[in-house]
Structure 1
Amino acid sequence: MPDANGVPTQEDIAFFKKNGYWISPKIIDDERLERLRMSMERVYRHDFETGKPPATAWSYETGRPNGLRKTDNANWSDLTIRALALEPLIGEIAAALAETDTIRFWEDQLLLKPARSGGNSSNVGWHQDYHYWGCFQNPETLLTAWVAYDDVDEENGCMQMVPGSHQWGVMRGNDFYEQNLKKQLQDMAGNEERSTQTAPIIMKAGQVSFHHSLTLHGSGPNVSDRVRRSSALHYVTGETRYRAGYADGYSEIQQFIALGGKDGDIVHGDMFPVVFQKS
């Protein structure tokens, strides 16, 4: 069990190292959750508090009403979401799980599955986050914190993890928008002796799940009467190194290059703000 502040114990860290994920106790209180839900709604209506739009923004005018809503870098646009991304306790937990001294934030996704968006319209295909992050050399230094704004279970499309899959290396077949989850997982695992047993990540609002950048995860449709809202927050450690020429389209990477960042350099700078650092 984690300590009174939610920081994982050595037993929790061992679980993360074996399985590639870990779920915190409730660390975001109800009042803050309500502010986050209100911020999400403002972003969807393109009411940007800072005046800066996200990298990509779902909107009521153009978005599919029953499909998955995905907005990249909402933290650019809303200070409440930005404060969540820079939450020191989330950074401290990430540092403990990654066994590092320094955690830096670099990007986020705002995610919503509407109620009764059945069929496959709000599925998230099986993927490893690192598949999209080849601009970094060392996947073991990257992890995601997924913050539940609502209670999540299998009925409203909770995440599913493949325990231990972070030890399989980088896999082909990653597709965030794949809808046939069963076939995709079978194809990715192939005929090798790999267990494709999945674990549902059932959480209460205010809990945070953490996963390794190579952990296979996805989620099914929301067939309930309850909305499923969340933020996926992505972090790097103080050991993360840049790999030149791959996925350099990220705004943060472009700024890093502009500062003189070269292949093999430790990523740093204002575009990768420190969230937690051991004193």
Structure 2
Amino acid sequence: MNDNQLLPQAADQDFFEENGYWISPKIIDDSRLQQLREHMEQVHSGIFESGHPPFAGYWKPEDGNGLRKTDNSHWADPVLRGLATDPLIGQIAALLMKADSIRLWHDQLLYKPGRPRVGQRNSANVGWHQDYSYWRAAAEPSLITAWVAFDDVDLSNGCMQVVPRSSKWGLVNVNDFFEQDLTKQEKQIHLPEGEKFRTVPLIMKAGQVSFHHALTIHGSGPNTTDMPRRSLAVHLMTGETRYKAGTKGDNHMNVAILGGKDGDLFAGAPFPVLYGE
């Protein structure tokens, strides 16, 4: 299958515009997947081939039964960097966002452990949230996430679930990545008139990539299998994404990394180009 067959077509772009998500065909082959899994384990073991650790604010070598979230793993490992800056992923994101260029916002290496041992509590759910609620340092929600599955995913191992059309709702009143009770959250969210909170599980094969808009509500349940669920979330932005000072997003790591002033583009070496420019 050539690259053109992997790109979203007009109907796929329309689907994304209406629903806020889209799932690609398999674009990462099995040999590359195995390499990615091995390098994920290296990073988790504290082996950083680049000599640079991931972002220190969140990186933990162990996290018990919780979701292990490693921000900016591309700093630490050239194989993971290759995925976080993959031109094909960038081109797909550009087509879905109808943008001329795509840059990396940051990445998150995600490890959802399997079922805990008897007597232990699984705390690896991901609460309902919109990514933009954490990214308001960007003046507009001109961001999209490519979630790369390193393993087959379905409801049994805690695949991502999205709420179609929620990308059209603006920021809702409830956003908490770390909340474990998704049912409680759902009851608290104020829906626009005429809309419904309907969830769709993103069931995928290893090597497929899901794309969701920064305003799309999403979350995930527990991994009830004996194997981990592994992935890389590649958070991307259009080339026109600018810093907006004085918001709740001012504590985001990218504000410090940019070191800029209100209205500056998120650009330069810390935010590499995947497509365009």
Q: TM-score, normalised by structure 1?
A: 0.92
Give the counterpart letter for 2:224 in structure 1: V
1:80 matched residue in structure 2:
79
3-state SS of paired residue (2:155): coil
Q: Which residue of 1 aligns with 2:112?
A: 113
Conservation of the 8 A alpha-carbon contact between 2:127 and 2:181? yes
Please say if residues 134 and 252 of structure 2, whose CA atoms lie closer than 8 Å, have aligned partners that are also in contact.
no
The SS at the match of 2:110 is strand
Aligned counterpart, 2:36: 36
Q: Does 1:123 align with 2:122?
A: no
SS in 2 for 1:24: strand
SS of residue in 2 equivalent to 1:240: coil
Equivalent position of 1:71 in the other structure: 70
2:251 matched to 1:241? no
- Partners of 1:239 and 1:186 in 2: how far apart? 36
- For residue 52 of structure 1, give the secondary structure of its aligned residue in structure 2: coil
Q: Is the 8 A contact 1:189 1:196 kept in 2?
A: no
Q: What displacement does 1:4 show?
A: 4.4
Determine helix, strand or coil for the equivalent of 2:115: coil
| 2:35 alignment partner AA | R
Instruction: Find the residue that maps to 1:25 and give its secondary structure.
Output: strand
Alignment of 1:139-150 (within 5 A): 139=141, 141-150=142-151
Calculate the TM-score normalised by the size of structure 2: 0.92
8 Å Cα contact 1:27-1:208 kept in structure 2 = yes
Give the corresponding residue for 1:15. 15
Asked whether the 8 Å contact 1:43–1:78 carries over to 2, the reply is: yes
- Counterpart of 2:189 in structure 1 is 188
Distance 1:40 1:113 in 2: 13
| 3-state SS, counterpart of residue 175 of structure 1 | coil
CA RMSD for the aligned pairs? Answer: 1.8
SS at match of 2:26: coil
Contact 1:119–1:221 (8 Å) recurs in 2: no
Indicate conservation of the 8 Å contact 2:113/2:223, yes or no: yes
How far did 1:265 drift? Answer: 2.9
The letter for the 1-side match of 2:255 is I
Deviating runs (4+, > 6 A) in structure 1?
Answer: none
Q: Deviations over 1:187-245 (max 9, x none)?
A: 11358442111000000000000000000000000112332100001111022121013
- Partner of 1:40, secondary structure, is helix
Note if contact 1:21-1:212 (Cα within 8 Å) is conserved in structure 2: yes
Mapped contact 2:191–2:197 kept (Cα < 8 A): no
Q: Which amino acid aligns with 1:132?
A: Y
Residue by residue, what CA displacement relative to the aligned partner does 1:158-184 show, whole Å, maximum 9, x if unpaired? 000000001110122211111110110
- Name the counterpart of 2:98: 99
**Matched residue, 2:45:** 45
Cα distance in 1, alignment partners of residues 137 and 82 from structure 2: 25
Please name the residue that 2:206 is paired with. 205
Q: Could you say which residue in structure 1 is the equivalent of 2:137?
A: 135
Q: Tell me the distance in 2 between the aligned counterparts of 1:68 and 1:36.
A: 18
| Separation in structure 2 between the aligned mates of residue 130 and residue 8 of structure 1, nearest angstrom | 23
> Within 1, Cα distance between the matches of 2:174 and 2:84?
29
After superposition, residues 138-177 of structure 1 pair within 5 angstroms as 138-139=140-141, 141-177=142-178
1:152 Cα shift? 0.1
1:76 and 1:182 mapped to 2: Cα distance?
Answer: 36
- Structure 1 gaps of 5+ residues are none
